[in-house]
Amino acid sequence: MTNAEKYVTAAYCVVFALVLLYVVIIALKLKRLEREVDELASRPVREHDDEREPAQVG
């Protein structure tokens, strides 16, 4: 393998590695979001909270 071939291979590998790293980061973030959505969905919520009459202030 010549020097030029090594450098060209390295350049394409860097492109591939960076794109792969980006995809992995996005995948981890989506996994975190999924976990947070599950956590939020499993919480019980008080209904009719927004139907309370507004209090007079001042």
Partner 1 sequence: MSSVRHRGSREPGGLSYGRGPAENCDNSQPLVRSYRISLPALAAASLVLVTTALVLVFFVAPTDADQGFSQRIFYFHVSIAFTSYLCFGLGAWKALVHLWKRDPDADLESYVGIHQGVIFGSLVLITGSIWARISWGHWWLWSENQLVLFLVLFLFYAAYFMLRFSLDAGPQRANLCAVYALFGVVLIPVSFLAIRLAQRFIHPVVFTRHGAAFGGWIMVTYLVSQAAMIVLAYTLYRIELSGKRLDVRLRELRRVYV
Binding stretches for partner 1 (CB under 8 A):
2-5, 7-8, 10-12, 14-15, 18-19, 22-23, 26, 29-30, 33, 36-37, 40-49
Rounded least distance, CB 57 to partner 1, Å: 20
Q: Report helix, strand or coil for 58.
A: coil
Q: Report helix, strand or coil for 54.
A: coil
Rounded least distance, CB 58 to partner 1, Å: 24
Distance between CA atoms of residues 15 and 21, nearest Å? 10
Longest CA pairwise span in the chain (Å) = 82
Question: Measured from the CB atom, is 39 or 57 closer to partner 1?
Answer: 39
